[in-house]
Amino acid sequence: MLYQIKIIISLVSLLLCLPILSQELKIMDNEVISFGQPNQSEVDAFVEDGVTLVVDLRGPNENRGYDEQSYLNSINTAYYSLPVIDEGDINFDNARLLQTLINDADGKVLVHCGSGNRVGALMSLIGSLEGMDKQEAIEFGIQNRLGGLINTVNQVIEE
């Protein structure tokens, strides 16, 4: 019985955390959805929910499972490739470019990489650009899926 209660508590805790993992955040007036690699049905759901721009942080050699750009073009959704291939691409220039893309979009923006880690890294830098202190910027990145690149983000913010 105690084991079943622990499982139930664990499941409830997980469910309470899910909104944080998929939280939509605002930069200026546009909503941003941080995500890992979406499949076609997930893209369809996001577009149906108001996404007008997909920003892909994956490199050209990373497998997406389908031709994402062609598919988005076929459903009249804007696509922008901003490759963040290695830690050197986690920089304020790329963060400013992403910030501009988000601010200029006509609707919600889906930003993705493979897992969301690179998205969170650039979102931390955007937070820093928008005046957050380092800790707030890191927390903002974590809310946007920042994980293993946290040390890189720390170094870039400190420079």
Residues 144, 33, 14, 36, CA torsion sign: negative
Q: What is the pLDDT of residue 1?
A: 55
DSSP character string of the chain: -HHHHHHHHHHHHHHHHHHHHT-EEEETTEEEEEES---HHHHHHHHHTTEEEEEE-S-TTS--SS-HHHHHHHTT-EEEE----SGGG-SHHHHHHHHHHHHH-SSEEEEE-SSSHHHHHHHHHHHHHTT--HHHHHHHHHHTT--TTHHHHHHHHH-
- Domain range for 73 is 23-158
Residue 17 has pLDDT above 60, yes or no: no
Residues 84, 67, 49, 104, CA torsion sign: positive
Residue 14: inside a domain: no
Residue-wise pLDDT tens digits, 70-111: 999 999 999 999 999 999 999 999 999 999 999 999 999 999
Average pLDDT over residues 59-74: 96
Residue 102: inside a domain: yes
Distance CA 71, CA 66 (A): 8
Among 3-12, 15-24, 31-40, 116-125, name the one with the lowest average pLDDT.
15-24
Residue 95: inside a domain: yes
Distance CA 127, CA 155 (A): 15
Residue 12 has pLDDT above 80, yes or no: no
Residue 119: inside a domain: yes
Q: What is the pLDDT of residue 5?
A: 44
Residue 24 has pLDDT above 50, yes or no: no
Q: What is the pLDDT of residue 4?
A: 47
Residue-wise pLDDT tens digits, 102-150: 999 999 999 999 999 999 999 999 999 999 999 999 999 999 999 999 9
Residue 37: inside a domain: yes
Residue 28 has pLDDT above 90, yes or no: no
The CATH number of the domain holding residue 88 is: 3.90.190.10
Q: For the chain, what is the domain count?
A: 1
pLDDT band for position 159 (cuts 50, 70, 90):
confident
Q: CB of 145 within 8 A of CB of 116?
A: yes
For the record, the structure tokens of 28 come out as: 């200026």
Residue 65: inside a domain: yes
Residue 85: inside a domain: yes
Residue 126: inside a domain: yes
Say if pTM beats, i.e. exceeds, 0.75: yes
Residue 33 has pLDDT above 60, yes or no: yes
Q: What is the pLDDT of residue 2?
A: 45
